[in-house]
Amino acid sequence: MSAASGNSVKAAHVPAFLNPTKYIVLIIATTLIMGTSFPVGKIGMMYAPPFLLMGLRYILAGGLMALALRKRPIPRKWRAWGKIILIGLFQSAGVMGCAYYSMNWISSGESAIITFTNPLIVIVLSALLYNLSYRSSQWIGVIVGFVGILVTFGWHMSFSPGTWIGFGGAISFAVSTLLIKRWGIDYDTFVLTAYQMLAGGSALLLLSAWTEQPHFIVTTVSILSLLYLTLICSILQFSLWFYLLQNSDPAQTSSYLFLAPFFGVLSSWFLIGEQVQWFVGAGGVLIGLGIYLVNRRSAKKKQDASHSVTSG
């Protein structure tokens, strides 16, 4: 198989070395964890302000990973460290900092809706910056998926400072997605995960010291919440997410982020008793349809991909 053919297959669909079953399982696991971070974070914010809680989460997660990975090679050049820090500022500090700070004006559901408009922004930025072309059905799929998110949360949106802060988080999410795809291949996935969290966590702690009255009320619930956010929603989630971005088309993979707020609603019902309305099911159907349209390939492209693999 020629290099050109290999690149066309990679851009069109999931790479050959990441089989479809494994890809789907990892996507569902990652988006489910992302969804649970909203209600667990809401519980944690009863005991600590948002920037402090997120800062502790990422400092602990990054520190634990860095300690476990101390025998792995780390970057030696300042330029390489600069890239890691930049990813951390966008991925850890930017996304979650904006998402949780926006909740001072809007609900957690609205914050989740806005944060996960990321797939649409990724496709727009990919088209503008990298001249990547996407089929009309993919654009329609992203829009349908976004409508599904709105329906999932009951179509209750309001414009306030929190709305724009939330969009800032979505843009930060999109930028970090593209940066990871562009630079991530040069790093060990776990090393990148650890040190970008340390960078983002440090920035969030500085924000907390500047804008909040830092405090953490120690209880069994607060400790369990912080541990879950640290071990599951940070270490495991980021490792899975970075791995997926490095081994697939970022716009295609990001389209599955439409599942995260859907899982967030369900986990909020299960963990903190928030009521699930009928429109959650309707939104879920639209989200599924949007994902199908974004990832569907035409019969001709399937034949071309199959021929390329066979030729190789």
Could you give the angle at the alpha carbon of 114 between the alpha carbons of 163 and 176, nearest 5°?
110
C-alpha to C-alpha distance for 51 and 58, rounded to whole angstroms: 11
C-alpha to C-alpha distance for 273 and 263, rounded to whole angstroms: 14
Question: What pLDDT score does 257 carry?
Answer: 78
Q: For residue 43, give Cα distances in angstroms to 36, 39, 53.
A: 11, 6, 11
**Burial of 257 from C-beta contacts in 10 A (0-12 / 13-18 / 19+):** buried
pLDDT tens by residue, 254-277: 778 778 888 887 888 888 877 666
Question: What pLDDT score does 156 carry?
Answer: 58
Instruction: With residue 186 as reference, give the H or E element that holds it.
Output: none
pLDDT at 205 over 70: yes
User: HSE (CB half, 13 Å, CA atoms) of 26?
Assistant: 21
Residue scoring higher pLDDT (312 or 259): 259
The two three-digit tokens of residue 71, written as one number: 């025998």
What does the radius of gyration of the chain's CA atoms come to, in whole angstroms? 19
Q: How many residues does the chain have?
A: 312
Question: What pLDDT score does 200 carry?
Answer: 95
Location of structure tokens 């290999």: 6
**Other beta carbons within 10 Å of 301:** 15
pLDDT tens by residue, 231-253: 999 989 988 887 887 787 776 78
Contacts of the segment 7-11: beta carbons below 8 A, 24+ positions apart: 8/304, 8/305, 8/308, 9/305, 9/308, 9/309, 10/249, 11/132, 11/249
C-alpha to C-alpha distance for 254 and 118, rounded to whole angstroms: 7
pLDDT at 5 over 50: no
Question: What pLDDT score does 203 carry?
Answer: 96
pLDDT tens by residue, 176-204: 988 988 888 888 888 888 999 999 999 99
C-alpha to C-alpha distance for 226 and 133, rounded to whole angstroms: 42
